[in-house]
Structure 1
Amino acid sequence: MRKLALSDEILMKIEKPARYIGGEFNAIVKDHNEVDTTFAFVFPDVYEVGMSHLGIQILYDLLNRRDDVCCERVYSPWIDLDKIMREQNIPLFSLETQTPVKNFDFLAITLQYEMCYTNILQVLDLSGIPLLSKDRTEDDPIVIGGGPCTYNPEPIADFFDIFYIGEGETEYYHLIDLYQQNKKNGGTKKEFLEMVAEIPCMYVPAFYDIEYNEDGTIKEMKPNNSHAKKTVRKSIVLDFDSVPYPDKPLVPFIKVVQDRCVLEIQRGCIRECRFCQAGSVYKPLREKSLETLKKLAIDMLKATGNEEISLSSLSTSDYSKIKELIDFLIEECKSRHINISLPSLRIDAFSLDVMSKVQDVKKSSITFAPEAGTQRMRNVINKGLTEEDIINGCTQAFSAGWNKVKLYFMLGQPTETNDDVDGIMDLCEKIAEVYYETVPKEQRKGKCQITASSSFFVPKPFTPFQWAPMCEAHTFLDKAKRVNDKLKTLLNKKSIRYNWHESDISVLEGLLARGDRRLSKLILSVYEKGGIYDAWSECFKKELWDGAIAENNIDVDFYVTRARNDDEIFPWDFIDTGVTKKFLLREWHNAQNEKVTPNCRMQCSGCGAASFGGGICYEN
């Protein structure tokens, strides 16, 4: 029987001890003495969130397919255990073998959300690894970061030895081969990093220097090591159908955020939403074949016993074989009494017909993401959705038996006016009117229930809106208050509920999303003051950030509310995602002129993604 890193006494004191014991069904346990290279793969958030992340499952499966590699999982300890570990000097450990993280060759950290940055330092600190990469020795693990936040790694550059830019399936084996080769030859960590720096998608921050202009903008970023490249090019999977995929996913002991099998049907997107970073950096679109997906679905359901399967994609409706796949899943899942989750469907007759087949209409809600309340604003963001589309979709949904609608909006987007803000509730009122005008009283399942939620716009790298100024926290709240006040004037106000996000966290997200290397000292300062789990409202302490910002003389407006010049050098400009800066700038100007750009299947816009090849790109 495995010896746990935590005593029974400690486990009895903390919330959800199953977070820390490992031993889940389909977990892979290897003897460290029988492998050449060990990975501790970290999700810097609580277990329930991390276990719901598909990327970790994919890379966990990929690395453990090699007999000479052992990959184990690590999640951030919740605040109750964090306190005990510090008091009793208990080092952070892996789940599979309860091995201290410091004993692994690699510490790989997935970077999904900017507000988890202080948790990166928590993981390093509890592991006994120096927080700054420059302070680490030959005995410390190589710290490598991957995931969407690496498309601007600069605010956390001081904490990492390597950033892997792009999709993890392509170069990890190459990285491991170089590590084993260097180790066999008795090479140093620096020599290994020099070898890594020559891989097109690998970025070693220590090998670059930044020079700034007098106004604080970047003048130049240049390599200081002959092995480093001026441009780091993202890696992508070209043959998406044959790439390894976990057919035996891990099954948690406790309920997690998304407790289901996840079937990734495609990667990338043909849409051109100007606020969406994922739609840009994951281009071009790549699909798995129908036969591959059928086999994976059956294998995963057999291997897990899950009662639900979900299709993963940025835009599920755009999968070319979606009808055939759903027909298969409906037939297969019916006999197994398994639910089907279909996120990211567009609002059309086909999608509603499908959802009526797989959902319990009496209990479920239908979800739309108009993102803006007026057509003018939807044209600015290039949503590709008209008010007619929305109203028709709701009409069909109500006719099919739904009476609950969820609507997602963003406040503070570029060029937004008060009329656009008011348009959110105008649209909600129109949808409520549709219900009461088109559904006979005797057929209604209670009153119409519309839940409108608004997040606050955060400009992200590699989007046309990377040039846009962001609102201040009080401006966001003023906009949300205006929406809420408008709700109170509506005839159908009792059928509508409105929620909005926290503005302070949104502003900090914007600061970290577009920040540069000078922000590493800010993040370190916040952590040293006790800041962790900033993504959790119950743990977020604004005063820690305010104090650290003041002490480090950080000009928040410089990073957040300032409009960028067309020719400004961004901290992330050294990364090549395939989508050119020229294209993004053209789209920024199109947004300001309210000009709509067709999706990739309708017309190629020449974004540059075709340079990668292998995907479904419609460039002429």
Structure 2
Amino acid sequence: MKKLALSDEILMKIEKPARYIGNEFNMAKKDPAAVEVRFAMCFPDVYEIGMSHLGMQILYDMFNRRDDIYCERIFSPWTDLDKIMREQNIPLFALESQDPIKEFDFIGITLQYEMSYTNILQVLDLGQIPLHTADRREEDPIIIGGGPCAYNPEPLAEFFDLFYIGEGETVYFDLIDRYKENKKNGGSRKEFLEMAAEIEGIYVPAFYDVSYNEDGTIKSMKPNNPHAKEKVRKQLVTNMDDAFYIEKPIVPFIKVTQDRVVLEIQRGCIRGCRFCQAGNVYRPLREHSLEYLKDYAYKLLKSTGHEEISLSSLSSSDYSQLEGIVNFLIDEFKDKGVNISLPSLRIDAFSLEVMSKVQDIRKSSLTFAPEAGSQRLRDVINKGLTEEVILKGASEAFQGGWNRVKLYFMLGLPTETVEDMEGIAELSEKVAETYYEIPKEQRNGKVQVVASSSFFVPKPFTPFQWARMCTKEEFLERAYIVKDKFRTMLNKKSLKYNYHEADLTVLEGVLARGDRKTSALIEEAYKNGAIYDSWGEHFKNDIWMKAFESCGLDPDFYTTRERDLEEVFPWDFIDSGVTKEFLKREWQNAIGEKVTPNCRQHCTGCGAMSFKGGICYEAKN
């Protein structure tokens, strides 16, 4: 039996020791001495969050199918263990072998959320790996970043040897095979990075120089190595049924955030919401076939013993075979005690009919995401939802037995007015009123409408990347306007309003839109105690404000500053498929309050169809 990296004495002192011992059901077990490449897959957050991430499970299983690769897992130690590891100089270790991660060939870090950036430095620091790529020795692991935040990798450029832009199932094996070849030939670390830079979708920050204008904006970004490309083109799966998918997910000993089987039904989205980064960078839409999903539903439930299966997608209602897969799951598994979860559904008659079959109405609430309180602002963001549709959906839900509704909004959207803000309370009131318009005998107790608003962050590769962000004070002022309006509503006892943390949102905006200068900011904040910033109880805004001052950076430069249409962005060297010309056109459509049809209605020439395998509805029909 393997020896644990942590003693029994330490395990008894810390919260949830099962986070660190491995040996879960379906965990990969190999002899480290019998493989050629050791790959540590890292999620820079606590175990329960990381083990809920589908992408990490897919790549873990994919790598371990190869006999020459042993893929293991790393998560950020929680604050209690972090303290002990520093005091006792215990190096961070992988769960499977319990070996120090500094002994691995690769560490692949998932970049899921900007507020996890200090946790990345925690992992490297506890792993006894130099933070800066320039300081790493030949024997140190190659540090790779991938995931949605890799679409602007520049704030992390100092810390990563390379970034993988796009979906992980495509060129990873090519990368690893080149590593093996270089190792066999006695090649250096730099020689491998040069080989890696030749692969489509791989970005090596050290091979690029950035120059700046006098006002601090980027003048140019050019390769300084002949192996590096002018444009790094994202990689994506073109035929979903040919793509690798996990058959035996790891089953944790403890309850994790997503404690269920996840069946991915499609990638991409047809909707074109102008604030949504995922909807743009994951274009074009690509679907799994019904037969493929039926097969994997059996495999996943059998291999895990889970009693719930979730259909995963950015917009599940848009999957063309949704009725078929839902009816199949109900017919095959409902009587076996398996629950079916359907996130990301648009509220229409079919969706409500489906949900009434698969949900316990008495226990569940329905979620709508109008995003904006007025029709004018929903047109600006291209949400594609009218008030009539929202209220009709709410009415049908209430008639179907639901009495709890969650409404999600954003504050600080471009062109937002006081009327738009107050519209959040007014729309919530109208939703509650629809409950009292149905016959009393059809009602199910008292109605509850919970409205929540996050604060808007303009993300890279969206039409809103040119928009300014609000200041912390502006965000809070808008939240107070909405809160005050809720107090005047007739049904205020049935209404509840929550809003996000404003200072956290401002920092998220800086890191989402940052350039290479913000690497120093992240490091300064980390060294002064910033960690687990996405966890409200651990976020310390004063540490970050002092870091801005120490680094001579102004947060307003990255957030509230107006962008010229011709400005060079830190992420412009990436080809995401969606062209900058299309995004400019959509930005101008937003300012003009002009709605753009979704992909199923009309092809708007976004550029994503340059990637073969997507579904272009205009071309099909």
Q: TM-score, structure 2 length as denominator?
A: 0.99
Which residue is 2:392 aligned to? 392
Which residue is 2:282 aligned to? 282
SS in 2 for 1:263: strand
Which residue is 1:588 aligned to? 587
Which residue is 2:448 aligned to? 449
Residue pair 1:146, 1:166 contacting (<8 A) in 2 also: yes
Letter paired with 1:248:
K
Residue pair 2:399, 2:442 contacting (<8 A) in 1 also: no
Letter paired with 2:338:
I
Residue pair 1:610, 1:619 contacting (<8 A) in 2 also: no
Given the alignment of the two structures, is residue 220 of structure 1 paired with residue 220 of structure 2, yes or no?
A: yes
Which residue is 1:572 aligned to? 571
**CA offset digits 1:372-404 (Å, max 9, x no partner):** 010000000000100000000000000000000
Which residue is 1:109 aligned to? 109
- CA drift of 1:563 comes to 1.3
C-alpha separation in 1, matches of 2:360 and 2:533: 36
SS in 2 for 1:241: helix
C-alpha separation in 1, matches of 2:333 and 2:511: 43
SS in 2 for 1:435: helix
C-alpha separation in 2, matches of 1:433 and 1:208: 58
C-alpha separation in 2, matches of 1:411 and 1:426: 15
C-alpha separation in 2, matches of 1:573 and 1:177: 29
C-alpha separation in 1, matches of 2:336 and 2:273: 38
SS in 1 for 2:15: coil
- CA drift of 1:334 comes to 1.3
- CA drift of 1:619 comes to 5.7
C-alpha separation in 2, matches of 1:533 and 1:611: 39
C-alpha separation in 2, matches of 1:325 and 1:580: 34
Letter paired with 2:145:
G
Given the alignment of the two structures, is residue 321 of structure 1 paired with residue 321 of structure 2, yes or no?
A: yes
Residue pair 2:121, 2:526 contacting (<8 A) in 1 also: yes
Which residue is 2:556 aligned to? 557
- CA drift of 1:459 comes to 0.4
Letter paired with 1:309:
I
C-alpha separation in 1, matches of 2:239 and 2:181: 28
**CA offset digits 1:506-549 (Å, max 9, x no partner):** 00000000010000000000011011100100110111001101
Cα RMSD between the aligned structures? 0.7
SS in 2 for 1:546: helix
Which residue is 1:210 aligned to? 210
Within 5 Å, which residues of 2 pair with 1:344-359? 344-359=344-359
C-alpha separation in 1, matches of 2:616 and 2:112: 26
Residue pair 1:526, 1:544 contacting (<8 A) in 2 also: yes
Which residue is 2:237 aligned to? 237
SS in 2 for 1:364: coil
Residue pair 2:163, 2:204 contacting (<8 A) in 1 also: yes
- CA drift of 1:312 comes to 0.5
C-alpha separation in 1, matches of 2:531 and 2:94: 20
Which residue is 2:547 aligned to? 548
Residue pair 1:266, 1:288 contacting (<8 A) in 2 also: yes
Within 5 Å, which residues of 2 pair with 1:425-574? 425-440=425-440, 442-574=441-573
SS in 1 for 2:240: coil
**CA offset digits 1:401-420 (Å, max 9, x no partner):** 00000000000000000000
C-alpha separation in 2, matches of 1:101 and 1:118: 18
**CA offset digits 1:39-61 (Å, max 9, x no partner):** 01100000000000001001001
C-alpha separation in 1, matches of 2:425 and 2:74: 44
Percentage identity across aligned positions? 69
Given the alignment of the two structures, is residue 122 of structure 1 paired with residue 131 of structure 2, yes or no?
A: no
Which residue is 1:615 aligned to? 614
- CA drift of 1:267 comes to 0.5
C-alpha separation in 1, matches of 2:439 and 2:112: 43
C-alpha separation in 1, matches of 2:284 and 2:444: 43
Which residue is 1:63 aligned to? 63
Residue pair 2:600, 2:618 contacting (<8 A) in 1 also: no
- CA drift of 1:439 comes to 3.6
Letter paired with 1:504:
D
Which residue is 1:74 aligned to? 74
C-alpha separation in 2, matches of 1:83 and 1:439: 59
C-alpha separation in 2, matches of 1:329 and 1:522: 49
Which residue is 2:420 aligned to? 420
Residue pair 2:39, 2:71 contacting (<8 A) in 1 also: yes
SS in 2 for 1:228: coil
- CA drift of 1:445 comes to 2.0
C-alpha separation in 1, matches of 2:39 and 2:450: 43
- CA drift of 1:200 comes to 1.4
- CA drift of 1:274 comes to 0.1
Which residue is 1:293 aligned to? 293
SS in 2 for 1:41: strand
Unmatched 5+ stretches in structure 1: none
Which residue is 2:309 aligned to? 309
SS in 1 for 2:235: coil
Residue pair 2:223, 2:230 contacting (<8 A) in 1 also: yes
Given the alignment of the two structures, is residue 4 of structure 1 paired with residue 7 of structure 2, yes or no?
A: no
Letter paired with 2:418:
N
C-alpha separation in 1, matches of 2:249 and 2:156: 31
SS in 1 for 2:56: helix
Unmatched 5+ stretches in structure 2: none
C-alpha separation in 2, matches of 1:180 and 1:97: 21
Given the alignment of the two structures, is residue 92 of structure 1 paired with residue 89 of structure 2, yes or no?
A: no
SS in 2 for 1:158: coil
Residue pair 2:115, 2:533 contacting (<8 A) in 1 also: yes
CA distance 1:608–1:619, shift in 2 (3 Å): farther
C-alpha separation in 2, matches of 1:363 and 1:110: 34
**CA offset digits 1:171-230 (Å, max 9, x no partner):** 110001000000000000000000000111000000000000011111100000010001
SS in 2 for 1:427: helix
Residue pair 2:601, 2:618 contacting (<8 A) in 1 also: no
Given the alignment of the two structures, is residue 249 of structure 1 paired with residue 249 of structure 2, yes or no?
A: yes
Letter paired with 1:574:
F
- CA drift of 1:29 comes to 1.1
C-alpha separation in 2, matches of 1:598 and 1:439: 37
**CA offset digits 1:565-616 (Å, max 9, x no partner):** 0100000000001100000000000000000000001001000001111111
Letter paired with 2:587:
W
Residue pair 2:399, 2:443 contacting (<8 A) in 1 also: no
SS in 2 for 1:550: helix
Given the alignment of the two structures, is residue 343 of structure 1 paired with residue 343 of structure 2, yes or no?
A: yes
C-alpha separation in 2, matches of 1:508 and 1:260: 32
Within 5 Å, which residues of 2 pair with 1:172-183? 172-183=172-183
SS in 2 for 1:107: strand
C-alpha separation in 1, matches of 2:158 and 2:24: 35
Letter paired with 1:264:
E
- CA drift of 1:618 comes to 3.5
Task: Please list every run of at least 4 consecutive aligned residues from structure 1 whose deviation after the TM superposition is greater than 3 angstroms.
Answer: none
C-alpha separation in 2, matches of 1:279 and 1:256: 26
Within 5 Å, which residues of 2 pair with 1:599-610? 599-610=598-609
